[in-house]
A and B are shown apart, each in its own frame.
Chain A
Amino acid sequence: MNRGAVATAAGYLGTRLGQALIALWGVTTAVFFALRLSGDPARLLAPQGATAADIARLRGQLGLDVSVWHQYLNFLDGLLHGDLGYSYVQHQPALGLIAQRVPYTIDLALSALFLSVVFGVGAGMVMALNRGRWPERVLMPVVLVGQAMPAFWTGILLILLFSVTFRILPSTGYGGITSLILPAVTLASLSAATVARITRGAVLEQLGRDYVRTARSKGAGTARLVVRHLARNVSVPILTVLALEVANLLGGSVVTELIFAWPGLGQLTVQSVDGRDFPLVQAIVILAALVYIVVNLVTDLAYAFLDPRISTLGKAAGT
């Protein structure tokens, strides 16, 4: 890369970062105001027999008795000092509560990712290399079924089968590796199917290439072909999909966590919105948006690095 390209890349990075910050601010603001339209946490927190005065008092304690703009300024002020506030319901710092839950969500997402990679890539390879023969005819319907199964139904059926009927796996909560199996399988089923299809397509694409034909004509066996040639060239599209699946798995675990009572972020999200725990919801939104923006930025930069042509296009806003 010459100096000019580096300068362009730096400018591109700067623009992207600036835009990312604006996006983050936009998300936070939108959620802040949407939340305040959505109900009164004080009413939810007050005991059943509380009087209007009790509720008003509670509202004051939560800092909700001032105008929305005032609350917003307070919030921004806290944000600048890295303070995301206290959970109304649990009386603990919002960030701390999130930090407690993150390991469980990551645990679940990574287990699901592992299953997706093993079964998705495996099935995709097998299907592509056995095009038209029985392995593909058996696997393809499985993949299509996997793609059409909503996570919550998969989850319920797995519970019905393994927890209720056979009683071999726990259906809820966190309790070691056995409790991880059902939620991970549930979460992985959809992304494994997606990965399998992408892998199949990518491998087929490569199989049609000249270099493969050349290798074949030289008498290379399938195993050698896969290891020496295909694996490298196929990994780029698969990795791209996987990068996106990671984000999907992290964000898409809400329903799965609810079904299996998994103590992760998804459950915390639903609870915090249900309880109108404003600081906690805001903290979760900021975190989620941050993760999304960073993943996007890194992906874009990776492309720009891999394919310099994109960086020149990057100046126009877009993906």
Chain B
Amino acid sequence: MSGQKVTGRTGRRRGLIPAVVVVLYVLVALCAPLISPFDPNHADLVARLSGPFTTVHGHFHLLGTDALGRDVLSRAFYGSRVSIAVAAATVVVSGAFGVLVGVLAGWYRGWVGVVVMRVADIALSVPFFLLAILVVAVLGPSLANVVICLALVRWPRYTRIAYASVLETRERGFVRGAVAVGAPGRWIVTRHVLPEVLPLAVVVATLELGLMVVFEASLSFIGLGVQPPTASWGSMLSDGQNYVASAWWLVTFPGLALFGLVLAVNLLGDTVRDRLDPTRSVSRKPFRRRGPGRGGRAPGWLRPGGTTGPTAPTSTAPTSTAPIPTAPSGTSQEA
């Protein structure tokens, strides 16, 4: 197969470098107090706006200092804590909540389903920044509120996928069988339904992670995120914007840090998606069988058709042999 060449060449190692980079970022975040050369909030007015590689009264600033004379490198290190913590917490909170209500909606259907999905629609139909501004305005800006705010916007992504997947799953033979023999609903959901839903949720979560890093930075950038003096890449960029003509390092380094993390997380997300959702992967098509099934309600690129049960993310050879329906839609509904 000619299509094998590019992605195939790097094959299994494709996700390795991004994974290493992400781990590095996490390590930096965890060890920020140990590796930062200075207190990130220590203002030194004499040293303000010194460029990279300068030494001011004996203090060497590798990446320069900001308008208050604070060390940019130290602040960038500490900034990673905010980015990673907020992104991870948001993904966990919105994922857990989204999957929970999605599964409930899909399992009970009826008015529960309608209400949940309409509320999801409502949440999706308010422009993100407007909602963010409102939430922060009502609750006040803080780390926890940023997470709440982002989770409020993002849970419907998980809900929609979980909902579609549950609808799909409950029509399957084994679930129908379990229902027919009178198995309790909770048992069926945890035993049969969740294992179908979770891999999809993990795929969404990894793809969301990069986005959440950007969203947190955007919120901090417009002053709604983490509050000063706490360092966040977004607020560093926003402060630095005023010095764009005189202190290029203030907008360059936090941006690079942010960009590096997002790129690594995105690449990692692509790998996870390809592994867990093989229908997406053009070059690598793991074993699967087709069977008659109804069209998927899930967004095209996350059709449940491709998943093969509770496979570990690293497994390259899915083992489930359940008949898997293919969806007709070749389009993406999720942006």
Verify whether A and B have any Cβ pair under 8 Å.
yes
Binding site for B on A (CB under 8 A): 19, 22-24, 26-27, 30-31, 34-35, 37-39, 131-132, 136-137, 140, 144-145, 147-153, 156-157, 159-160, 164, 194, 198, 201-202, 204-205, 207-208, 236-237, 240-241, 244-245, 247-248, 251-252, 254-255, 258-259, 266, 269-270, 273-274, 276, 281, 284-285, 288-289, 292-293, 296, 299, 303, 307, 309-310, 313, 316-319
Stretch of B48-56, B190-198, B325-333 that contacts chain A: B325-333
**How far apart sit A194 and B3, CA to CA, in the bound complex (Å)?**
20
Cβ contact of A241, chosen from B121, B164, B221, B332, cutoff 8 A: B332
Cβ contact of A160, chosen from B117, B122, B244, cutoff 8 A: B244
Cβ contact of B118, chosen from A22, A240, A245, cutoff 8 A: A22
**How far apart sit A202 and B333, CA to CA, in the bound complex (Å)?**
14
Provide the residues of chain B in CB contact with A19, threshold 8 Å.
114, 118, 121
9 contacts between A and B (CB under 8 A): A150-B218, A150-B255, A194-B335, A236-B330, A244-B334, A244-B335, A266-B129, A289-B125, A307-B295
Question: Is there contact, CB below 8 Å, between A38 and B113?
Answer: no
Q: Does B2 contact A (CB under 8 A)?
A: yes
**How far apart sit A310 and B328, CA to CA, in the bound complex (Å)?**
10
**How far apart sit A254 and B126, CA to CA, in the bound complex (Å)?**
13
Binding site for A on B (CB under 8 A): 2-3, 5-6, 109, 113-114, 117-119, 121-122, 124-130, 133-135, 137-138, 160, 163-164, 167, 210, 214, 217-218, 221-222, 234, 237-238, 240-241, 244-245, 248, 251-252, 255, 258-259, 262-263, 266-267, 280, 282, 294-295, 297, 299-300, 328-335
Q: Which of B138, B234, B263, B332 has the most CB of A within 10 A?
A: B332
Question: Is there contact, CB below 8 Å, between A318 and B163?
Answer: yes
Cβ contact of A288, chosen from B127, B222, B245, cutoff 8 A: B127
Taking the nearest CB of chain B, how far is it from the CB of A23, in angstroms? 5
Given A132-B6, A254-B127, A313-B297, A149 contacting B259 (CB threshold 8 A): yes
Apart from A198-B332, A205-B282, what 6 extra A-B contacts exist at CB < 8 Å? A131-B3, A144-B267, A237-B331, A255-B218, A317-B117, A318-B117
Cβ contact of B258, chosen from A150, A299, A313, cutoff 8 A: A150
Q: Which DSSP category, helix, strand, loop or mixed, fits chain A's interface? A: helix
**How far apart sit A252 and B222, CA to CA, in the bound complex (Å)?**
14
Taking the nearest CB of chain B, how far is it from the CB of A154, in angstroms? 9
Cβ contact of A35, chosen from B3, B134, B240, cutoff 8 A: B134
The 3 closest A-B pairs by CB, nearest first: A132-B5, A148-B263, A38-B137
**How far apart sit A80 and B251, CA to CA, in the bound complex (Å)?**
48
Cβ contact of A153, chosen from B133, B222, B258, B280, cutoff 8 A: B258
Taking the nearest CB of chain A, how far is it from the CB of B287, in angstroms? 17
Provide the residues of chain A in CB contact with B267, threshold 8 Å.
144
Provide the residues of chain B in CB contact with A160, threshold 8 Å.
244-245, 248, 251
Question: Is there contact, CB below 8 Å, between B331 and A240?
Answer: yes
Taking the nearest CB of chain B, how far is it from the CB of A238, in angstroms? 9
Question: Is there contact, CB below 8 Å, between B295 and A309?
Answer: yes
Question: Is there contact, CB below 8 Å, between A152 and B237?
Answer: yes
Question: Is there contact, CB below 8 Å, between A145 and B335?
Answer: no
Question: Is there contact, CB below 8 Å, between A148 and B295?
Answer: no
Q: Which DSSP category, helix, strand, loop or mixed, fits chain B's interface? A: helix
Question: Is there contact, CB below 8 Å, between B125 and A288?
Answer: yes
**How far apart sit A318 and B114, CA to CA, in the bound complex (Å)?**
8
Taking the nearest CB of chain B, how far is it from the CB of A209, in angstroms? 11
Question: Is there contact, CB below 8 Å, between B3 and A156?
Answer: no
Question: Is there contact, CB below 8 Å, between A319 and B164?
Answer: yes
Question: Is there contact, CB below 8 Å, between B333 and A244?
Answer: yes
Provide the residues of chain A in CB contact with B113, threshold 8 Å.
316-317
Given A27-B126, A34-B138, A240 contacting B117 (CB threshold 8 A): no
**How far apart sit A319 and B332, CA to CA, in the bound complex (Å)?**
12
Question: Is there contact, CB below 8 Å, between A30 and B130?
Answer: no
Question: Is there contact, CB below 8 Å, between A150 and B214?
Answer: yes
Provide the residues of chain B in CB contact with A34, threshold 8 Å.
134-135, 137-138
Taking the nearest CB of chain A, how far is it from the CB of B67, in angstroms? 16
**How far apart sit A185 and B194, CA to CA, in the bound complex (Å)?**
42
**How far apart sit A147 and B18, CA to CA, in the bound complex (Å)?**
15
**Chain A, residue nearest B335 (CB):** A244
Question: Is there contact, CB below 8 Å, between A270 and B133?
Answer: yes
Taking the nearest CB of chain B, how far is it from the CB of A185, in angstroms? 16
Provide the residues of chain A in CB contact with B217, threshold 8 Å.
150, 152
Provide the residues of chain B in CB contact with A150, threshold 8 Å.
214, 217-218, 255, 258-259, 262
Taking the nearest CB of chain A, how far is it from the CB of B324, in angstroms? 18
Cβ contact of B255, chosen from A153, A252, A259, cutoff 8 A: A153
**Chain A, residue nearest B160 (CB):** A319
Given A132-B6, A236-B330, A145 contacting B129 (CB threshold 8 A): no
Provide the residues of chain B in CB contact with A149, threshold 8 Å.
259, 262
Given A27-B126, A156-B237, A319-B160, A136 contacting B259 (CB threshold 8 A): no
Provide the residues of chain B in CB contact with A307, threshold 8 Å.
295, 328-329
**How far apart sit A205 and B160, CA to CA, in the bound complex (Å)?**
26
**How far apart sit A310 and B164, CA to CA, in the bound complex (Å)?**
13
Taking the nearest CB of chain A, how far is it from the CB of B24, in angstroms? 16
**How far apart sit A309 and B335, CA to CA, in the bound complex (Å)?**
23
Provide the residues of chain A in CB contact with B137, threshold 8 Å.
34-35, 38-39, 273, 276
Question: Is there contact, CB below 8 Å, between A159 and B244?
Answer: yes
Question: Is there contact, CB below 8 Å, between B210 and A156?
Answer: no
Taking the nearest CB of chain A, how far is it from the CB of B115, in angstroms? 9
**Chain A, residue nearest B234 (CB):** A152
Taking the nearest CB of chain B, how far is it from the CB of A182, in angstroms? 13
Taking the nearest CB of chain A, how far is it from the CB of B165, in angstroms? 11
Provide the residues of chain B in CB contact with A319, threshold 8 Å.
160, 164, 297, 299, 333
